[in-house]
Chain A
Amino acid sequence: MELNQREKIKSILFLSPAIICFVVFLLIPMLYTVYLSFFDWNMIRPEMDFVGLDNYIKIFTDETTYKVLRNTFSYIGIILITNFCIPFVFAFVCKFVLHKFANFYKTTMFMPGFISLIVGSVIFTWILNPIVGPVALFLKEFGVKMPVWSTTEGLVIVVISLITSWKSFGYNFIMLYSAVSGVSGEVIEAAQLDNIPLRKIFLQIVAPMTGFTSFYMFVMTIIQGLTYVISPIDVLTKGGPNYGSSNIVYAAYFKAFYMFDTGGAAAMAVITLVIFGFGLFLLNEVVGKLVYYEN
């Protein structure tokens, strides 16, 4: 009994650093956000007015919310292609199809990962400047006028997605490459001898065999698509034109730090949390069950 008691105290002591960090930096802010979402406050005023569900009602009746939500899914969709599907295929090609220069490609693709996304965004504002940027000048040679992408709805999302994926492509690639490398070369050769085309080797053998890591990367890419885009949005467009490049996370940030509508921002953050928490739960239930685990 006494020993049990001591063991208990010991385990609590060992767990406490992690628990304290979790509570102080995650749980309390999260609960406080939920609390804030019921108030009208601007972070400076001493008194906070309780407004009930007003903040939520305002968000749900606002047209721009739906626009921003659509943008959010567009970003995720594009980044899933550029940062999950493409690096996955590249990893497969580098490992099993290419026999030369595979190392060169690996290094090259990882390099942008070393550069901060803010710096990258600044570089891209110059490269993609529609009047004096090198891309615009190059297109001009062929008589093509570069559209002002930062004020063109739709296009702005594509460009910001590409800038974001430029940064995290390498990391995702390396993760997926290591997963693909775990597939035994003999298995691939056995499939080649069975006259299975490369496309099917990838989809029916490599993808399921690396399911564990690739599912993880799939989820991480969704989160990248949700959160990483906010730095380039902030540097390049501040969410414009007319919320055309804002996503839900940036919209909450914008509300909080540009409009000082703390309550509204908190409500938006809570909505984001609910949507994505539920989405990821569903994904894990459905896809997670299909994933092949080696052990």
Chain B
Amino acid sequence: MKRIELTDIKKAYGETVVIPKMSFSIADGERLVLLGPSGCGKSTLLRMIAGLENIQEGVLKISGEDVSNVAPGQRNIAMVFQNYALYPHMTVEDNITYGLRQNKVPKEEVEKRLDMVLDMLDLRVYRKRKPKELSGGQRQRVSLARATVKNSEVFLLDEPLSNLDAQLRVSARQSLLDIHEKFKQTIVYVTHDQIEAMTFATKVILLNKGEIQMYDEPYNVYHHPSNVFTAKFIGSPSMNIMEHVHIISNFIRIGKQRMVLDREWRGYLEENTNYFCGIRPENLRITKKKSEQEYSQIEATVQYIENLGANFAVYLQVEGSQLVAVIKEPDFDVNEKVYIEFLQDHLHFFDGTTEKNLGRPASLHSQRQ
């Protein structure tokens, strides 16, 4: 019912094309995160859904109705802005209820909704204060409250947590999830922060240069990235991508070194083809001593070691390119020669030209549906 559908949407500012042509739809009650680096068009997309940017070409439907040319105020959309956009001369209470009062919602109803949201977001004690007397986190909650009282079926958020510190983000995220749990709105959430995307989304759209790179559940975006861009963008430290990897009989050849390919992968890939080979830092194993088993490892030099707190990130030099491994505790030093092994279940092969993920053999665990 509260489905959002975009068909052949296009947006350009003069000569600069922001979104060449895009179509997708968002299911009822979904928590969709639009994720991407800055300038990828995610905010533009959100603002087009809100009606704050006009849609040059294509059709936008909300709940089955074409709203491409409907004024923002008529779309019944609630939105939370990056800088909260509170009315600085109004109290918290007035900020929350201003829109309702102006739209002639009956007084008792306004009071009821205000009461509910004040309790829900823990704002009751601040109701008579002005925004400047509140902290960042409190302002954020006020802007959430203001959006919530509208009872809109579509809830848009433009980097709502980017001005908060790490701890406040966690609690604000929780408030958001509570709101969604209660009202089941269709949420579109824009962020460049992958942690927010992973923790909050039921679906993620990863954008780059105005094009959808992947549209899937967060789990699949992480574990089964559709292409090299997705693989590199999601995860920190990001996935190791080795270029010019070849398969020769039962070996993977990386530069001058080679490694035996697991049985599952054999026959899945073509020989003498140029691949990108990806593996996440946590799927590398490092040993100081060379394994007895021949060709199970490749040689590397430790460049430097970063302390991440719970883990260590080890930067390795392999055949002129850099690989990162995340391990519990290093038992080696910088500049030492070590041996690395890949957990081949977690290997990804991408086409050497299109950079698309070539998938994996059926015998290995596949995508979650």
| A positions within 8 Å CB-CB of B | 184, 186-187, 189-196, 200, 205, 208-209, 211, 292, 294
Contacts and interface: CB of A to CB of B under 8 A. Distances in A.
Nearest to B86: A187
B81 A208 contact: no
B88 A209 contact: yes
Contacts, number: 65
Interface in B47-102: 50-52, 71-75, 77-79, 81-89, 98-99, 102
Contacts of B72: 189, 192-193
A190 B84 CA distance: 9
Most buried by B among A189, A192, A193, A194: A193
Given A187-B87, A189-B52, A195 B79 contact: no
A200 B102 contact: yes
A195 B85 contact: no
B348 interface: no
A188 to B, nearest CB: 8
Given A186-B83, A189-B72, A205-B87, A194 B150 contact: yes
Task: Please tell me the size bucket of the interface on B.
Answer: 20 to 34
Interface of B: 50-52, 71-75, 77-79, 81-89, 98-99, 102-103, 132, 146, 150
Contacts of A195: 71, 73-74, 99, 102-103
Contacts of A209: 87-89
A195 to B, nearest CB: 3
Contact of B81 (A189, A205, A294): A189
A184 B83 CA distance: 9
Contacts of B82: 186
Contact of A194 (B51, B86, B99, B132): B99
A209 B15 CA distance: 36
Contacts of A205: 87
A186 B81 contact: yes
A189 B103 contact: no
A193 B102 contact: no
Contacts of B132: 294
A187 B52 CA distance: 12
